């Protein structure tokens, strides 16, 4: 993170309605999309610069987040929870807006920092993973009566895997960086499995899978876990809350969390799909959803895991081919490393396919 950006973050802080004195502003977290800073002081805050090239309509992103968090706060209050900790709170700017636009045209937003809680980049204990599953399931459950039509599609076709396949193919053809020749095996991997891309979209179009309000980016570091109880406290990173499929939310969490290694591990011998973690997550997620999923949705949860892993691997490869302009990278070939872990996980899931199907049915009490 460059010093210049830290200075700009500090300047942006002064435009929000913070309480008490604010102090140091330092880079925070390991997200791939926005620039996140922790703001120290009497009360701690998180300030973020929204990624402008990804979120073309930042006001729509904030409208969604305000709508969803206001709705959640009502439910949390009724259930006797802590509305300032169990969901995000958008801090207004000095003129009452949700975004501060700086002199470069960049958009900044602020939240309370969720205190006494941590987000994990990798599963450290089975209990944490299970608790995160319950919290993500509960998140979908709580939003099941949210007026989905009022949500903006902040990133059109975000989990339209078929459309993403077409973008990937165009990136291979254009080969703007001349990298395609060195990644022929990776390209072939996604091409050989093209049919994976169409499965969920087709079922949704046929009315077999319902559209719900989903988070769409349920990786483990997008949930804050209580440092003492280990329970999931607050689902964060709400930029992509949109109508979607339950299989997407389940699947993305599996893709990231039910792996024995980090998303960017270079040594693929360390990267394995962990069926035990898969089972724990399935159990927690279904508990969190409290019986709200249909039998077909339950049966498609393993497919969600495979599709999301395939899709994410393909997105990393596309970005590599296009010159690493979407995901933040911290070394040369970073997106390619990420792509390869996802390929390894897809292969492992293929090898465990029947067992995955049995597990979700057993966890749901269907067998
Ligand atoms: P990105 O879209 O770049 O992933 P996130 O909103 O996920 O951005 O934020 C990046 C990281 O910053 C999170 O993984 C988390 O560790 C931390 N973070 C974000 N918001 C908060 C918050 N309100 N309280 C505490 N930590 C936060
Ligand atoms: C991004 O924002 P972050 O780092 O939580 C991405 C997800 C990918 C993920 C891969 C808006 O998530 O879709 O699955 O990286 N978010 C966006 O780690 O594209
Ligand atoms: Mg994030």
In tens, the pLDDT along 30-54 reads: 999 999 999 999 999 999 999 999 9
**What separation in Å is there between the alpha carbon of 119 and the centre of ligand 3?**
10
Q: Which residues line ligand 1 (CB under 6 A)?
A: 28-29, 31-34, 36, 46, 88, 111, 113-114, 119, 221-222, 224, 236-237, 239
Taking 90 as the threshold, does the pLDDT of residue 269 lie above it? yes
**Residue having the nearest C-alpha atom to atom 1 of ligand 2:** 32
Say what the pLDDT of residue 74 is.
98
Q: Kindly report, residue by residue over 191-236, the tens digit of the pLDDT.
A: 999 999 999 999 999 999 999 999 999 999 999 999 999 999 999 9
Could you give the C-alpha distances from 294 to 80, 246, 300, in angstroms and in order? 29, 10, 10
> 277: part of which helix (H) or strand (E)?
helix 275-289
**pTM, rounded to two decimals:** 0.97
Say what the pLDDT of residue 1 is.
59
Cβ atoms within 10 Å of 323's Cβ, excluding its own: 12
Taking 90 as the threshold, does the pLDDT of residue 3 lie above it? no
**Residue having the nearest C-alpha atom to atom 11 of ligand 1:** 29
Could you give the C-alpha distances from 3 to 8, 43, 360, in angstroms and in order? 9, 23, 48
Ligand 2 atom with least separation from CA of 222: 5
Ligand 2 atom with least separation from CA of 33: 2
Per-residue DSSP letter, 265: -
Taking 90 as the threshold, does the pLDDT of residue 344 lie above it? yes
Name the fold adopted by 3-115: Phosphorylase Kinase; domain 1 (3.30.200)
**What separation in Å is there between the alpha carbon of 237 and the centre of ligand 1?**
6
Q: Kindly report, residue by residue over 124-144, the tens digit of the pLDDT.
A: 999 999 999 999 999 999 999
Select from 306, 297, 238, 237 the least CA-distant residue to 273.
306
Spatial distance between the Cα atoms of 220 and 253, rounded to a whole number of angstroms: 6
Does residue 119 contact residue 221 with C-beta atoms inside 8 Å? yes
Average pLDDT of the residues of the chain: 97
Q: Which residues line ligand 2 (CB under 6 A)?
A: 31-33, 217, 219, 222, 237, 239-240, 252, 263, 312
Could you give the C-alpha distances from 216 to 12, 23, 258, in angstroms and in order? 28, 34, 17
pLDDT band, residue 360 (cuts 50/70/90): very high
Pocket test for ligand 2, best of 28, 31, 33 (most atoms within 8 A of CB): 33
Angle at 214 between CA 248 and CA 357, to 5 degrees: 35
Say what the pLDDT of residue 112 is.
98
Pocket test for ligand 1, best of 28, 30, 83, 328 (most atoms within 8 A of CB): 28
Pocket test for ligand 1, best of 18, 40, 46 (most atoms within 8 A of CB): 46
Ligand 2 atom with least separation from CA of 256: 18
Say what the pLDDT of residue 7 is.
96
Taking 70 as the threshold, does the pLDDT of residue 319 lie above it? yes
Residue 176's Cβ-side half-sphere holds a number of Cα atoms within 13 Å equal to: 12
For the chain, which residues make up each domain, given as ranges?
3-115, 126-363
Name the fold adopted by 126-363: Aminoglycoside 3'-phosphotransferase; Chain: A, domain 2 (3.90.1200)
Ligand 2 atom with least separation from CA of 216: 13
Average pLDDT score over residue span 327-356: 98
Q: Kindly report, residue by residue over 61-106, the tens digit of the pLDDT.
A: 999 999 999 999 999 999 999 999 999 999 999 999 999 999 999 9
**What separation in Å is there between the alpha carbon of 272 and the centre of ligand 1?**
26
Q: Which residue has the higher pLDDT, 54 or 2?
A: 54
């Amino acid at each position: 993170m460059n010093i210049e950006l830290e200075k700009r973050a500090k300047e942006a802080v002064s435009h929000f309605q913070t309480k008490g004195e604010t102090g140091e502003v330092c880079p925070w977290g390991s997200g791939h999309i926005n620039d996140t800073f922790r703001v120290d002081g009497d009360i701690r805050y998180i300030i973020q610069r929204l990624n402008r090239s990804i979120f073309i309509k930042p006001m729509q992103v904030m409208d969604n987040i305000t709508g969803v968090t206001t709705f959640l706060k009502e439910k949390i209050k009724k259930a006797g929870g802590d509305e300032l900790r169990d969901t995000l709170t958008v801090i207004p700017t000095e003129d009452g807006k949700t975004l501060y636009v700086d002199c470069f045209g960049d958009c900044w937003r602020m939240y309370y920092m969720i205190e006494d809680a941590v987000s994990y980049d990798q599963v450290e204990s089975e209990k944490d993973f299970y608790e995160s599953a319950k919290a993500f399931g509960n998140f979908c459950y709580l939003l099941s009566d949210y007026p989905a039509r009022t949500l903006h599609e902040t990133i059109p076709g975000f989990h339209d895997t078929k459309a993403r396949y077409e973008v990937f193919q165009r990136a291979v053809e254009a080969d703007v960086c001349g990298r395609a020749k060195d990644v022929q095996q990776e390209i072939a991997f996604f091409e050989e499995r093209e049919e994976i891309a169409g499965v969920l979209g087709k079922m949704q179009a046929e009315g077999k899978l319902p559209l719900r309000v989903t988070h769409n980016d349920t990786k483990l570091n997008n949930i804050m876990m209580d440092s003492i109880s280990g329970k999931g406290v607050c689902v964060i990173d709400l930029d992509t809350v949109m109508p979607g499929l339950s299989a997407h939310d389940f699947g993305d969490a599996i893709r990231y969390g039910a792996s024995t290694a980090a998303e960017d591990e270079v040594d693929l011998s360390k990267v394995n799909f962990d069926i035990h973690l898969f089972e724990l997550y399935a159990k927690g997620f279904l508990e969190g959803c409290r019986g709200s999923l249909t039998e077909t949705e339950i049966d498609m949860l393993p497919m969600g895991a495979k599709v999301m892993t395939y899709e994410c691997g393909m997105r990393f490869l596309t970005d590599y081919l296009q010159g690493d302009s979407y995901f933040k990278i911290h070394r040369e070939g970073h997106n390619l490393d990420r792509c390869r872990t996802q390929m390894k996980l897809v292969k492992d899931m293929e090898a465990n396919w029947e067992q995955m199907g049995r597990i979700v049915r057993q966890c749901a009490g269907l067998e």
